[in-house]
């Protein structure tokens, strides 16, 4: 008996099943490869776009040092999260101010009670490593600014034997030239940036420039509150007020900066600055300078052409109650001011230097410092002293409005006072390998 021949359609069916099995196998292999690539990407890439260094003046540890909280900002949600091993000791007592070097590799922390500036090296993971400590020429340093060439430090009192809390005297500013370091035998230090000896003011035979008035007010106590160096590096400004008058009188002391770091007072300096100026910032083109007036509740705006400060039309512009800090977006026409008593940050649009209010946004209690992420200019944060936290916002680069970042506010060490930030890996390109 002959075997029955299989129908032709059975053979076709078997061929289809074989091809389907091959397709399934290819799909499985592709999925496995995709999963492997994704897993590798997760191991080699991060969504961290910036590191933010938040100072706390609260004493901690056996040496009663302050602390530095290090937060990473997520590039998608804006969420801020402390890195492992954070916080770090500030290497001094009562840290009050900080600045980063132009190459984003160094953090300079001002310790008020020790009269020191501590230089930290910043690791690629945001961790801090103390490298060098210098004493400030004056007494009780309280503000700092840095650019590629110089470190500007403002002291509460000039370095005179009779100056003290019991017998206050005018403040002063000092300049520490910065030199490139490296591993070569000729480099002044092994860090990328090295702090040099402070520049000398031959007029006083010392390493400082006093913040004093002339005439009948020559002996008045001038209290400094902030410092700002223009992006051009040509001029530096110190906000201050006269505490010897029946009510405070505000000023901005302006100086031109020589290549050696030596300062020369600008013609017309000091410039009138409301009642009690509290903070100062400038835009990225060095065209405009903004000063918050703590007592008057407004923002003063100046043209900075040729260094001399000229009030802009419409200045001062209304702010909230007790404004304490100001930040100018380096890429977009927006200015932001913290109002400490209102617990808000106020947004402004900027047109030819003039400000127009966009709106107010709720922060933690008592915001005293503010910053914009240097990588994308997309995230803004405020340091809230009494809230002991940091508020995060997503910034609209077209409208200037703010939205709360995911899970904001973020817990910090008690009583934070200042903040500075760097792009992740120092490149500012968003997600970094």
Q: How far apart are CA 304 and CA 286, in angstroms?
A: 7
> Does residue 187 sit within a domain?
yes
- pLDDT at res. 59: 63
pLDDT at residue 6 greater than cutoff 60: no
- pLDDT at res. 271: 98
- pLDDT at res. 360: 97
> Does residue 270 sit within a domain?
yes
> Does residue 2 sit within a domain?
no
Mean pLDDT of 17-34: 49
pLDDT at residue 34 greater than cutoff 80: no
CATH number of the domain encompassing residue 237:
2.130.10.10
- pLDDT at res. 426: 54
- pLDDT at res. 350: 97
3-state secondary structure the chain: CCCCCCCHHHHHHHHHHHHHHHHHHHHHHHHHHHHHHHHHHHHHCECEEEEEEEEEEEEECCCCEEEEEEEEEECCCCCEEECCCCCEECCCCCEEEEEECCCCCEEEEEEHHHCEEEEEEECCCCCEEEEEEEECCCEEEEEEEECCCEEEEEEEECCCCCCCCCCCCCCEEEEEEEEECCCCCCCCCCCCEEECCCCCECCCCECCEECCCCHHHCCCCEEEEEEEECCCCCEEEEEEEECCCCCCEEEEEEEEECCCCCEEECCCCCEECCCCEEEEEECCCCCEEEEEECCCCEEEEEECHHHCCEECCCCCEECCCCEEEEEECCCCCEEEEEECCCCEEEEEEEECCEEEEEEEEECCCCEEEEEECCCCCCEEEEEECCCCEEEEEEECCCCCCEEECCCCCEECCCCEEEEEEEEHHHCCCCCEC
The residue written with tokens 């400590």 in the block is 133
Q: What is the pLDDT of residues 35-73, one digit of tens each?
A: 443 433 343 356 899 999 999 987 655 566 899 999 999
Q: How confident is the model at residue 185 (pLDDT cuts 50, 70, 90)?
A: confident
Q: What is the pLDDT of residues 414-433, one digit of tens each?
A: 999 999 999 986 544 443 33
If one compares 128 and 22, the residue with the highest pLDDT of the two is: 128
> Does residue 433 sit within a domain?
no
| Total number of domains constituting the chain | 1
> Does residue 38 sit within a domain?
no
Q: How far apart are CA 171 and CA 245, in angstroms?
A: 16
Phi, psi of 43 (to 5 degrees): -80, -25
Q: How far apart are CA 378 and CA 133, in angstroms?
A: 34
Cis peptide bond upstream of 409, omega within 30: yes
- pLDDT at res. 183: 87
Q: What is the pLDDT of residues 237-295, one digit of tens each?
A: 999 999 999 999 999 999 999 999 999 999 999 999 999 999 999 999 999 999 999 99
Q: What is the pLDDT of residues 198-223, one digit of tens each?
A: 999 999 999 999 999 999 999 999 99
- pLDDT at res. 22: 55
> Does residue 5 sit within a domain?
no
Q: What is the pLDDT of residues 253-263, one digit of tens each?
A: 999 999 999 99
> Does residue 37 sit within a domain?
no
> Does residue 338 sit within a domain?
yes
> Structural domain of residue 156, as residue ranges?
47-426
């Amino acid at each position: 008996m002959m075997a029955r021949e299989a129908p032709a359609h059975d053979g076709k069916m078997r061929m289809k099943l074989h091809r389907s099995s091959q397709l399934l196998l290819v799909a499985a292999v592709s999925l496995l490869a995709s999963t492997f690539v994704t897993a590798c990407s997760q191991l080699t890439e991060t969504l961290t776009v910036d590191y933010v260094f938040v100072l706390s003046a609260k004493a901690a540890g056996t040496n009663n040092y302050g602390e530095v909280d290090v937060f990473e900002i997520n590039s998608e949600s804006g969420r801020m999260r402390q890195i492992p091993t954070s916080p770090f000791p500030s290497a001094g007592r009562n840290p009050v101010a900080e600045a980063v070097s132009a190459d984003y590799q160094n953090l300079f922390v001002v310790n008020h009670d020790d009269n020191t500036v501590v230089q930290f090296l910043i690791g690629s993971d945001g961790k801090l490593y103390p490298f060098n400590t210098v004493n400030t020429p004056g007494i009780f340093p309280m503000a700092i600014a840095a650019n590629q060439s110089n470190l500007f430090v403002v002291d509460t009192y000039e370095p005179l034997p009779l100056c003290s809390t019991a017998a206050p005297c005018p403040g002063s500013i000092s300049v520490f030239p910065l030199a490139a370091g490296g591993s070569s035998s000729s480099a002044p230090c092994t860090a990328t940036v090295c702090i040099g000896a402070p520049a000398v003011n031959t007029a006083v035979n010392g390493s400082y420039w006093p913040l004093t008035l002339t005439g009948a007010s020559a002996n008045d106590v001038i209290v400094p509150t902030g410092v700002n160096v223009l992006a051009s590096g040509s001029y530096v400004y110190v906000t201050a007020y006269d505490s010897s008058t029946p009510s405070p009188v505000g000023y901005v002391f302006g100086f031109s900066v020589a290549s050696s770091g030596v300062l020369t007072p600008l013609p017309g300096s000091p410039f009138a600055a409301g009642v009690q100026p509290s903070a100062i910032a400038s835009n990225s083109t060095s065209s405009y300078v903004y000063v918050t007036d703590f007592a008057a509740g407004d923002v003063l705006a100046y043209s900075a052409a040729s260094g001399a400060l000229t009030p802009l039309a419409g200045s001062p512009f209304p702010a909230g109650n007790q404004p304490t800090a100001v930040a100018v977006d380096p890429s977009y026409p927006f200015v932001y001011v913290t109002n400490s008593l209102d617990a808000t940050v106020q947004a402004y649009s900027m047109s030819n230097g003039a400000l127009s209010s966009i709106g107010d946004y709720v922060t933690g209690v008592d915001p005293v410092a503010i910053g914009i992420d240097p990588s994308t200019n997309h995230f803004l944060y405020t340091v809230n002293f009494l809230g002991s936290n940091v508020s995060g916002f997503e910034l609209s680069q077209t409208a200037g409005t703010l939205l709360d970042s995911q899970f904001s506010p973020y817990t910090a060490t008690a009583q934070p006072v200042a903040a500075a930030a760097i792009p992740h890996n120092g490149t500012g390109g968003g997600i970094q390998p």
